[in-house]
Structure 1
Amino acid sequence: MGDEKRRAVEEEVRKLKEAGFIKEVTYTTWLANVVMVKKANGKWRMCTDYTDLNKACPKDSYPLPSIDTLVDDASGHKILSFLDAYSGYNQIPMHSPDREKTAFMSDRANYCYEVMPFGLKNAGATYQRLMDRVLAKQIGRCMDVYIDDMVVRSPDEQRHLRDLEEVFDEVRRYGMRLNPAKCPFGVSRGKFLGFMLTSQGIEASLDKCEAILKMPSPTTLKDIQRLVGRLTALSRFIPKLAERARPIMKKMKKEALSKWDMECEQAFAQVKEILMNPPIMNRLDEGAELHVYLGVSDTTISVVLVQELPAPKLVYFVSRTLQDAETRYRQVEKVALALLHAARRLRPYFQSHQVVVRTNHPISKVLRKPDLAGRMVAWAIELSEFGMHYEPRGSIRGQHLADFAAELPPTGNDLWSLYVDGAFGKNASGAGIVLEGPNGFLLEHSLLFKFRTSNNQAEYEALVAGLELAKDMGAKKLICRTDSQLVVGQMNGKFQVKEDHLSKYFHKASALMSEFEEADIRHIPREQNTRADMLSKLCSGKDKGQLTTVIRQILLQPSVECHAITTDAANWRGEIRELMKKQDDGCTLRPEETKRIARFLLVGGDMYKRGFSTPLLKCVSREEAQYVMDELHNGVCGFHSGQRTLKARILRAGYYWPTMEEDSRIFTKKCLWCQAHANDLRAPPHLLHFITAPWPFSQWGMDIVGPFPVGPAQKKFLLVAIDYFTKWVEAEPLATITAGQVQKFCWKLICRFGLPKTIITDNGRQFIDKKLREFYQNLGIKHVTSSVEHPQTNGQVEAVNKTVVAELKRRLGEKKAAWVDELPEVLWGYRCHPHGTTGETPFNLTYSIDAMLPVELGEPSLRRQIEDLALNDQELRVELDTVEERRDRAALRGIRP
């Protein structure tokens, strides 16, 4: 260390000793070096390098307040006072046993701190915790604190004097010392956390702006990095910074490293021009709407937050450069990504205010489609938390908002193009749709038909679905292209429509085309329709290719049939409502009418029927009934059961419509997967062999199924277990079956459901291993093995094996290797499926209540619509009091001859 630095160290050590902050120490275990850093005034600051000590210290995860929130709260006030503690960290004493760990060396001796020094890993969190306790009554009301930065803000002078007096009383009570030389009182503006606070709002720091304005053009990579760092600190005040600074950012990449060029100089000049008169940011008024404007280019996304009423106020500019993969996103995905980035980056704003997205892009319609797939569905779920509204853009006012006048790169074409193609396959049929719009808008749609269809019918289905999609996206002028000569000829009047089933499609497609301002349909060769052709084959089973679509959808019945159903969807409910209204008005009804409406009532505007299996059944339209059946049969918690079981699940979920029995029969009869993988029962049934269990989870049956097609992580076997009382099923996919794997599986069962009395298995080597037997003996579990060539001994698990395998086949279709991913949904469906032996679902016998099913989200059930926490808690206790009765009833039913 040079003489100048050595003298500065000696002087600083002398001051610390006189202040009582340090003491001399010997034989210390920890020892750090001092580092001298030159201040802006030319003097030296002594720092201690605690790198090794910090690595050994655990992290104090005390939460620090949001800088944006603090700055917003402190802005817009008339009077401000900024407080600075005198050697703030040094006012906190060190824990006595830890003092010697802070030791550092000088030329003449080793010293350790008796107070908290700078440079410790958790010093900031410790100081913030102290400030939050000392000034707990004032923080958030009249002052804001971020570690050692403190500001007192008030709307007027009299209030400010009272606030200061209150703060000083607390400071004095805790013995805290302030540095008057660094405490400006009663000012109208001042620097806080790198921003300039004024009564008008939040201004960019003049020092930071001048540092860029006075900076010469960079000549080295370090100069460019320094410039980018300074621009990032002012990003809130620079509209579309990522786009403006892109030429500069490219110079930071090693492969693009070259001399500063004219493009970079122009970008630098644009940024300097903005910083000569930077915009003033404002805090949002309480309860005000937050308006969001989006800007998208090929390589960047940008967002601005604005409060428009009562007067326009700028709140925040956000932008970033798209990563390599993101630059290849479709335009609709880039717009959604811009909104998602703003919601993540400025989450407190989105959570505290009603957000209105001003956009002319059909992003709201895309995000609200129920059949999204891939990353878009994840984005839609994340954005749904904020309950955003979408409105078309109006005129944009303000100098700094001019950059957002164009949301997307300009184009003068408002014509939409639709490419459709249908595909007929032996196992399944499908359709592909490609919709292209202005500004590079591209939407791909893949349909799977779960009904029998001809090739011409598939072509018409593709056309109808494509026209409906274009209508949803707000297209006015449309050109539709398909490679089907029959469809084009019939739609243009050149061919006659002779088949009755195609006539329905013709009339529906003609009606849809008439709703556009301009619409035309043209024939193109198959070579020009390859994208739609490949999308159709994704679902039809032909040459699937390697495509990732934005939207995928399953069509359960022909679109013309759906159209016919929805025309009178609510008639049956409407007739009953009319009769109930007449009765309420005092009109006398006929005896048959009175009998018809006796079991119906209205709850919150919805109609319910008093049931026998469930107290109240929600009455649904035929369209809603189609959704209920589809969700319970094919959905996430669906189960491909027969007509009787589907009807029972509908009633148990709490839904009713007059033709539910017949509709359930037709629905299950039309399910292709049920027909393809139904059990072929030829042998006459035998008498049941039952084994009783004294209490839930006291007796488990266990077996191995497989091998299956190889799935992720080479998994090809399934270890299955069923509880003999509740019929609860657990299953785990495994790559190999060993005794150790079986033991781990058993331990998981024990940790979740407690120690069983008995476990029944076959005589497989994995089940009769010596170590596994010792495991059972140590836990007091009786292990029973079935007789050789007599699987009826463990018949329950054998039966559930068949059920699980059959359900996997129905769900997977051609994608057999995906059985591992599909297994949790199969198990969920089984657990929520009434068992023929007990008459209850395994979930209900386990948890004493029916599970909340996805169908109750799409079509809200009574318990979803009427939510009372106190009443729910009371009802749940009642259910728990009666669960033993239901279990006893299930047990008696299971052993009934």
Structure 2
Amino acid sequence: MEEYIAEALKSGFIRPSTSPAAAGFFFVEKKDGGLRPCIDYRGLNNVTVKFRYPLPLVPSALEQLREAIIYTKLDLRSAYNLIRIKEGDEWKTAFHTSRGHYEYQVMPYGLTNSPAIFQSFINEIFKDLLNQFVIAYIDDILIYSRSEAEHIDHVQIVLSRLLQNKLYVKAEKCEFHVKQTSFLGYCISHHGVKMEEMKVQAVTEWPQPTTVKELHRFLGFANFYRRFIRNYSSVASPLTSLLKGKPTRLGWTKEATNAFIDLKERFTSAPILKHPDPGLPFIVDVDASDCGIGAVLSQRTGQPGKLHPCAFFSRKLTAAERNYDVGNKELLSMKAAIEEWRHWLEGAVHPFQIITDHKNLEYIQNAKRLNPRQARWALFFTRFQFTVTYRPGSKNCKADALSRRYDLPTEHFSSESIIPRSVILAPVSWDIMEELHQEQEREPPPAHCPPDKQYVPLGLRQRIMQWIHTSISAGHPGISRTLHLLQNSFWWPAMAKEVTAYVKSCPVCAQSKTPKELPSGLLKPLPIPQRPWSHLSIDFVTDLPP
């Protein structure tokens, strides 16, 4: 600590302070064995106005690497400390140590807005290079190119840009001109995206959980890579069911043991998901069972034209959807798959092919008689160019496997693919979901958060409640209904109390609500006034919205 304080004072990062604020100071170990200074700014963060600058969505960023064959990875040195605190606000960052009381003159780690501020800073520097050959995620920079010669120029451009802005890299953590690298938790190469080998080894050696906390830790790790595992939610359901009701002790079962072993085996054999190539035709395998729907997005690659997966999709049927007949369930699987991957399929260069084991779907595009639901879906299909091909169920095993396993007892399932898209209650606002993921980066879910729910950080709870309560499909429901809709997908501490307060303060609900009480007061004739201004009459306007 003494060494850090002396060095930070010398470099001008900190200065002695007389501030009334005093946050706790400590060190955490870094991956390279060094120590990173950290300050407990939770009190300051709770009252800080949030800067809503978006952080890049990792899966979306990785989609840019489709034609890249060579990579360079850079890690910036002391990134946050390169941005100065606004003059006059330094006192807010004050911290105390055994050496004395100090405050930062530069942006420290631990402030809620630090990631967003630095992301906006780095995006401004590389604004003309992003999505061309650069991905910048806070202080991690990836340069990707389609050839060796092109890559040399790209690296020189990026390094020159960093030098111009007095940004420096940690040479020991950089990789130059490599065919394969690890970036943001994934192993990337020209073949596609896969799990990091170190993470695969960690899964194979993972001991069976013995406590609730250990199970939370395993499921949290597994959930990060669920996009590589077909039917992840169904396979993991015996494990997630153990956490239902917030137990304090782990009631391990034989089914949980089988699921734990099965998950570990699936992770070690997880496929490399190919980068989708818009120049090649897409193939979508779809299927439905009594309990779920599933789909696989694929493309043919290589000389033999081998079919390679690009993304998996599966979800549980709702109670209403389970009442559909077989044909409508199959049609639903087709509609859901197209909707999930519409960012690739809409406007595709080539018409894509849908493969189904339900022969009647071959005629859906030319059907003359449709019920209202089918008519709506048929209108949606007109935005896409595709053909439907019948394949018997015995040969349509990929999508079939994704739908069949939903007869197991499952918790609420949030489907994911290479680019996750949450479908919760109504058409989802991308802005809200992006903000939610960004806030979760800054405020991770607590250990007791249910693994099948999205944790909502403090700064977004009001907006999430407004979004659910005022959506067209919800229509300003009451307290119980609003809470139920939120609990289907979200969680945060004291949710019921906050939802109750929000619904009671909703002005639309207050205006629409019919009062149940009789008007106060008794109507009777007033005496005739003797002179002007001897009596004054006043009307009270009541039942105004809060």
2-side partners of 1:352 and 1:124: how far apart? 35
Partner deviation per Cα, 1:528-564 (whole Å, 9 max, x = no partner): xxxxxxxxxxxxxxxxxxxxxxxxxxxxxxxxxxxxx
- Which residue number corresponds to residue 314 of structure 1? 309
1-side partners of 2:339 and 2:22: how far apart? 42
- Which residue number corresponds to residue 276 of structure 1? 268
Q: How many residues align?
A: 408
Structure 1 residue 348 displacement after superposition: 3.5
SS at match of 2:251: coil
Return the TM-score normalized by structure 1: 0.41
Alignment of 1:17 onto 2:14: no
1:253 to 244, 247, 270: 244
Structure 1 residue 85 displacement after superposition: 0.7
* Alignment CA distance shift 1:365-1:101 (3 Å): farther
Partner deviation per Cα, 1:399-423 (whole Å, 9 max, x = no partner): xx9543567659xxxxxxxxxxxxx
Alignment of 1:290 onto 2:287: no
Structure 1 residue 288 displacement after superposition: 2.9
- Which residue number corresponds to residue 50 of structure 2? 59
* Alignment CA distance shift 1:250-1:296 (3 Å): farther
1:136 to 108, 127, 144: 127
- Give the letter for the 1:391 counterpart: V
- Give the letter for the 1:80 counterpart: Y
Superposed, 1:796-811 pairs within 5 Å as none
- Give the letter for the 2:257 counterpart: E
- Which residue number corresponds to residue 186 of structure 1? 177
CA contact (8 A) 2:52 2:116 kept: yes
- Which residue number corresponds to residue 146 of structure 1? 137
- Which residue number corresponds to residue 64 of structure 2? 73
Superposed, 1:528-539 pairs within 5 Å as none
SS at match of 1:140: coil
CA contact (8 A) 1:75 1:198 kept: no
More relative contact order, 1 or 2 (CA 8 Å, 6+ apart): 2
* Alignment CA distance shift 1:232-1:307 (3 Å): same
2-side partners of 1:93 and 1:183: how far apart? 26
- Give the letter for the 1:184 counterpart: E
Partner deviation per Cα, 1:691-729 (whole Å, 9 max, x = no partner): xxxxxxxxxxxxxxxxxxxxx9899xxxxxxxxxxxxxx
1-side partners of 2:157 and 2:105: how far apart? 30
2-side partners of 1:15 and 1:388: how far apart? 63
Structure 1 residue 39 displacement after superposition: 4.3
- Which residue number corresponds to residue 663 of structure 1? none
CA contact (8 A) 1:304 1:316 kept: yes
Partner deviation per Cα, 1:181-225 (whole Å, 9 max, x = no partner): 111101111111111011221121122222211101222222222
Structure 1 residue 347 displacement after superposition: 5.4
Structure 1 residue 366 displacement after superposition: 7.6
Task: Decide which moves more: 217-226 or 349-358.
Answer: 349-358
Structure 1 residue 337 displacement after superposition: 5.8
1-side partners of 2:334 and 2:287: how far apart? 10
Partner deviation per Cα, 1:585-622 (whole Å, 9 max, x = no partner): xxxxxxxxxxxxxxxxxxxxxxxxxxxxxxxxxxxxxx
- Give the letter for the 1:312 counterpart: L
Which 5+ residue runs of structure 2 have no aligned equivalent? 406-507, 516-536, 540-546
SS at match of 2:84: coil
- Which residue number corresponds to residue 24 of structure 2? 33
- Which residue number corresponds to residue 388 of structure 2? 391
- Which residue number corresponds to residue 372 of structure 2? 372
Alignment of 1:120 onto 2:120: no
2-side partners of 1:358 and 1:102: how far apart? 59
SS at match of 1:392: strand
2-side partners of 1:254 and 1:397: how far apart? 39
Structure 1 residue 239 displacement after superposition: 1.3
Higher gyration radius (CA): 1
Structure 1 residue 315 displacement after superposition: 1.0
- Give the letter for the 1:282 counterpart: K
Structure 1 residue 242 displacement after superposition: 1.6
* Alignment CA distance shift 1:181-1:394 (3 Å): same
Superposed, 1:101-112 pairs within 5 Å as 101-112=92-103
Structure 1 residue 152 displacement after superposition: 0.8
2-side partners of 1:333 and 1:316: how far apart? 24
CA contact (8 A) 1:48 1:104 kept: yes
Superposed, 1:559-598 pairs within 5 Å as none
Superposed, 1:472-483 pairs within 5 Å as none
Task: Decide which moves more: 151-160 or 387-396.
Answer: 387-396
* Alignment CA distance shift 1:409-1:301 (3 Å): closer
1-side partners of 2:37 and 2:321: how far apart? 46
- Which residue number corresponds to residue 576 of structure 1? none
Partner deviation per Cα, 1:46-95 (whole Å, 9 max, x = no partner): 31222222222222222333321211222552221001111111112222
When the two chains are superposed, the root-mean-square deviation of aligned CA atoms in Å is: 3.9
The structure in which a higher percent of residues are helix is: 1
* Alignment CA distance shift 1:175-1:42 (3 Å): closer
* Alignment CA distance shift 1:155-1:246 (3 Å): same
Partner deviation per Cα, 1:261-304 (whole Å, 9 max, x = no partner): 33222222222223323211111123333322234455554332
* Alignment CA distance shift 1:334-1:103 (3 Å): farther
SS at match of 1:349: helix
- Give the letter for the 1:277 counterpart: S
CA contact (8 A) 2:17 2:103 kept: yes
Return the TM-score normalized by structure 2: 0.65
- Give the letter for the 1:221 counterpart: V
- Which residue number corresponds to residue 601 of structure 1? none
2-side partners of 1:403 and 1:296: how far apart? 12
Partner deviation per Cα, 1:782-821 (whole Å, 9 max, x = no partner): xxxxxxxxxxxxxxxxxxxxxxxxxxxxxxxxxxxxxxxx
2-side partners of 1:214 and 1:79: how far apart? 32
- Give the letter for the 2:357 counterpart: N
Alignment of 1:216 onto 2:211: no
2-side partners of 1:49 and 1:165: how far apart? 39
1-side partners of 2:220 and 2:342: how far apart? 23
CA contact (8 A) 2:362 2:388 kept: no
* Alignment CA distance shift 1:371-1:166 (3 Å): same
2:38 to 30, 44, 47: 47
Q: Percent identity?
A: 27
Partner deviation per Cα, 1:297-351 (whole Å, 9 max, x = no partner): 5555433221236542221223445667766666566556655665666553344
Which 5+ residue runs of structure 1 have no aligned equivalent? 1-8, 411-711, 716-732, 737-768, 772-897
Structure 1 residue 250 displacement after superposition: 1.7
* Alignment CA distance shift 1:125-1:278 (3 Å): same
- Which residue number corresponds to residue 468 of structure 1? none
* Alignment CA distance shift 1:357-1:57 (3 Å): farther
Partner deviation per Cα, 1:356-379 (whole Å, 9 max, x = no partner): 432234568789876425xx8877
SS at match of 1:48: strand
CA contact (8 A) 1:359 1:407 kept: no
2-side partners of 1:196 and 1:85: how far apart? 20
Superposed, 1:473-622 pairs within 5 Å as none
1:239 to 230, 233, 243: 230
Alignment of 1:85 onto 2:76: yes
Structure 1 residue 177 displacement after superposition: 1.4
* Alignment CA distance shift 1:57-1:311 (3 Å): same
2-side partners of 1:261 and 1:236: how far apart? 26
CA contact (8 A) 2:357 2:391 kept: no
- Give the letter for the 2:355 counterpart: R
- Which residue number corresponds to residue 220 of structure 2? 229
CA contact (8 A) 2:296 2:398 kept: no
1:358 to 351, 355, 362: 355
2-side partners of 1:343 and 1:55: how far apart? 41
Superposed, 1:333-348 pairs within 5 Å as 335=330, 342=337, 346=341, 348=343
SS at match of 1:96: coil
SS at match of 1:185: strand
2-side partners of 1:714 and 1:106: how far apart? 52
